[in-house]
Amino acid sequence: MAFEVRAEPTPNPNAMKFTANEILFEGTGSASFKKGDNPDQPLAKALLSIEGVDNIFGYQDFVTVNKEAGTDWDSLLPEIEGAFNSVYK
């Protein structure tokens, strides 16, 4: 089965949820990182390196990406897709 991820809007216009068909974050706890953090988790590191991403929250098969105010989802989404593709080839 190929890796797949789907984007879903949230009630917060600055946040979008990405759900995958496999586990992104191992374990039973959630993971939360903000810009400036240096996480060991490869997807978190890739997402936080994107200009305009403020913080992320991940748990098992999903991650919620929060963008900085003034950043456009249309410019962020291709970069977020690229981050997933670089980690889950």
Write down the pTM of the prediction: 0.95
Cα separations in angstroms, 57 against 1, 2, 77? 25, 24, 17
Total count of domains within the chain: 1
Token readout for 59 is 């748990």
Mean pLDDT of 20-30: 94
- Burial (CB count within 10 angstroms: exposed 0-12, middle 13-18, buried 19+), residue 58: buried
Mean pLDDT of 27-31: 94
Confidence of residue 29 (pLDDT cuts 50, 70, 90): very high
- CATH (domain of 21): 3.30.1370.70
The whole domain housing 21 covers 5-87
d(CA 46, CA 19): 16
Res 89 pLDDT > 80: no
